[in-house]
């Protein structure tokens, strides 16, 4: 049997748009791992760890010997940018050396990962091939962020997103529809829109809150004040969010597996059309092309 020197610690997650990328797992789990809605890395084998440099080198070498034409690489897991700049640069340089056709390297990234890097380091990462990061902002509202134990504030997220932009690194920002519940929906929608307006990300996505393992931990963060939204209420929140967006050129998507209402467009030019589609879902859900509830994986 052929020896394959590539080791993935499952489960491994990647954004939908990285479906055709080589997934290179250089860290395992998430160094924060405290967000109350997130169960991605809670299994014992997903405790945060860093893959030794020599293993990363061997894996890249192995891929280069067997595959040609690899254009995109996604660095997993949850927050690779937590690694020191020197280590990241080693990985990026090695990818470029062994896989010269790669044009885009991307990863998930928490705002705090950016806070700990200097502007020069961010620029060096861009120059070495890091072209895009996926930032789960989740909300732009400080109360909501505190309640879900995100470990970030509106301002820390804005600062990091803007510093990434200054370095040339594209930002794909995610917001969670329904994460504030009915009680905090308005402030979540408006402050999340404000966060997007202040950072003008290249990509913006709205996912729907899912708590596959129950509400207990999540509810604790809200001191029992969280009231789950139904579909109609989530559409109303989405309307308020999109209506408050003032974006110049951002690709907007709500087409994650969790979304019943699929929206796609470029903001600002498609804002009116998107609002009309949301209005249809609010007023005539039977006429809107909603994904049936059973199709959603959660
Ligand atoms: S930072 Fe991301 S991966 Fe880590 S716990 Fe929060 S949502 Fe999950």
CATH of the domain at 62: 3.30.750
pLDDT at residue 297 is higher than 60: no
User: Would 77 be classed as within a structural domain?
Assistant: yes
Residues 258 and 159 in one domain: yes
114 in a structural domain: no
User: Encoding tokens for residue 147?
Assistant: 């309640």
User: Could you tell me if residue 113 is inside a domain?
Assistant: no
Predicted pLDDT of residue 143: 98
Residues paired with residue 24 on neighbouring β-strands, in sequence order: 75
Q: What is the pLDDT of residue 83?
A: 97
**Do residues 68 and 146 share a domain?**
no
Domain enclosing residue 14, as ranges: 1-108
Is omega for the bond preceding 97 within 30 degrees of 0, making it cis? no
Longest CA pairwise span in the chain (Å)? 60
E strands in the chain = 22-25, 27-28, 49-50, 72-76, 104-108, 130-138, 170-177, 203-208, 250-254, 263-267
Q: What is the mean pLDDT of residues 200-224?
A: 91
* CA dihedral angle for residue 55, residue 58, residue 60, residue 63, rounded to 10 degrees: -130
At 127, is the pLDDT very low, low, confident or very high (cuts 50, 70, 90)? very high
For residue 211, tell me if it sits in a domain.
Answer: yes
Q: Are residues 147 and 96 in the same domain?
A: no
Report the length, in residues, of the chain: 298
Average pLDDT, the chain: 93
Q: What is the pLDDT of residue 227?
A: 95
Specify whether 85 is located in the same domain as 154: no
Q: Report whether pLDDT(147) > 70.
A: yes
pLDDT interval class at 4 (50, 70, 90):
low
**What pLDDT is stored for residue 3 in this prediction?**
66
Least confident of 177-186, 189-198, 206-215, 235-244: 206-215
- Cβ neighbours of residue 223 closer than 8 Å, sequence gap 6 or more: none
- In this structure, the answer to whether residues 78 and 170 fall within a common structural domain is no
pLDDT at residue 294, rounded to an integer: 58
Q: Report the C-alpha gap between 30 and 25 in whole angstroms.
A: 12
Residue 131 C-alpha to ligand 1 middle, in angstroms?
21
Least confident of 11-20, 75-84, 223-232, 253-262: 253-262
Examine residue 128 and state whether it is found in any structural domain, yes or no: no
Same domain, 78 and 148: no
Same domain, 173 and 237: yes
pLDDT bracket for residue 288 (50, 70, 90): confident
Is the distance from CB of 192 to CB of 143 less than 8 angstroms?
no
Q: What six digits make up the tokens of 286?
A: 């039977």
- Examine residue 3 and state whether it is found in any structural domain, yes or no: yes
**Ligand 1 neighbours by CB, cut-off 6 Å:** 30, 32-35, 38, 40-41, 78-79, 110, 136
Alpha carbon of 15 to ligand 1 centroid (Å): 13
Q: Are 234 and 175 members of one domain?
A: yes
Examine the domain organization and report whether 175 and 263 are in the same domain.
yes
Residues 203, 99 share a domain: no
Domain membership of residue 45 (yes or no) is yes
Pocket residue to mutate for ligand 1, from 136, 137, 256, most atoms within 8 A of Cβ: 136
Who has greater pLDDT, 212 or 175? 175
Banded pLDDT at 260 (limits 50, 70, 90): confident
Domain count for the chain, please give it. Answer: 2
217 lies in the same domain as 283: yes
Quick one: what percent of the chain has pLDDT higher than 90?
A: 84
3-class secondary-structure state, position 22: strand
> Does residue 205 carry a pLDDT above 80?
yes
**Residue 277 clears pLDDT 90, i.e. is over it:** yes
In a domain, 170, yes or no: yes
Stretch 121-147: mean pLDDT: 98
Among 61, 92, 108, give the residue marking a domain's end. 108
Cα of 157 vs centre of ligand 1, distance in Å, is 14
The dihedrals phi and psi of 239, each to the nearest 5 degrees, come to -65, -45
pLDDT of 296 > 80? The answer is no
- What is the number of the ligand 1 atom nearest to the C-alpha of 34? 5
The pLDDT score that the predictor gives to residue 152 is 98
**Per-residue pLDDT tens over the stretch 159-202:** 999 999 999 999 999 999 999 999 999 999 999 999 999 999 99
In this predicted model, what pLDDT tens digit does every residue of 41-76 receive, in sequence order? 989 999 999 999 999 999 999 999 999 899 999 999
Q: CATH number for the domain including 167?
A: 3.30.750.200
159 with 57, same domain: the answer is no
pLDDT tens-digit series, residues 74-113: 999 988 999 999 999 999 999 999 999 999 999 999 999 9
Q: What spacing in Å lies between the alpha carbon of 104 and ligand 1's midpoint?
A: 23
Q: How far is the CA of 219 from the centre of ligand 1 (A)?
A: 17
């Amino acid at each position: 049997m052929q020896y394959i020197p590539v080791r993935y610690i499952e489960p491994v997650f990647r954004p939908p748009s990285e479906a055709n990328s080589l997934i290179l797992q250089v860290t395992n789990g998430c160094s924060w791992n405290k967000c109350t809605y997130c169960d991605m890395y809670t299994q014992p084998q997903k405790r945060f760890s860093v893959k030794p440099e020599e293993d990363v080198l061997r894996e890249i070498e192995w891929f280069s010997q067997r595959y040609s034409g690899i254009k995109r690489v996604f660095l997993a897991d949850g927050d690779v940018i937590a690694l020191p700049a020197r280590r990241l640069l080693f990985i990026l340089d090695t990818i470029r050396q062994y896989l010269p056709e790669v044009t885009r390297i991307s990863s998930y990234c928490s705002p705090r990962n950016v806070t700990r890097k200097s502007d020069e380091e961010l620029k060096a990462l861009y120059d070495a091939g890091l072209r895009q990061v996926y930032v789960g902002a989740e909300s732009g509202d400080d109360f909501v962020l505190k309640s879900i134990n995100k470990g970030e504030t509106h301002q820390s997220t804005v600062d990091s997103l803007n510093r990434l932009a200054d370095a040339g690194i594209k930002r794909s920002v995610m917001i969670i529809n329904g994460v504030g519940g009915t009680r905090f929906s308005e402030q979540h929608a408006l402050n999340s829109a404000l966060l997007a307006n202040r950072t003008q990300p290249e990509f913006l996505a709205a996912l729907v809150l899912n708590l596959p393992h129950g509400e207990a931990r999540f509810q604790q963060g809200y001191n029992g004040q969280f009231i789950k939204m139904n579909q109609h209420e989530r559409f109303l929140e989405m309307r308020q969010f999109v209506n408050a967006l003032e974006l110049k050129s951002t690709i907007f998507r709500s087409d994650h597996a969790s979304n019943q209402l699929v929206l796609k467009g470029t903001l600002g030019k498609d804002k009116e059309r998107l609002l009309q589609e949301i209005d249809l879902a609010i007023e005539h859900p039977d006429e809107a092309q909603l994904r049936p509830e059973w199709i959603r994986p959660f």
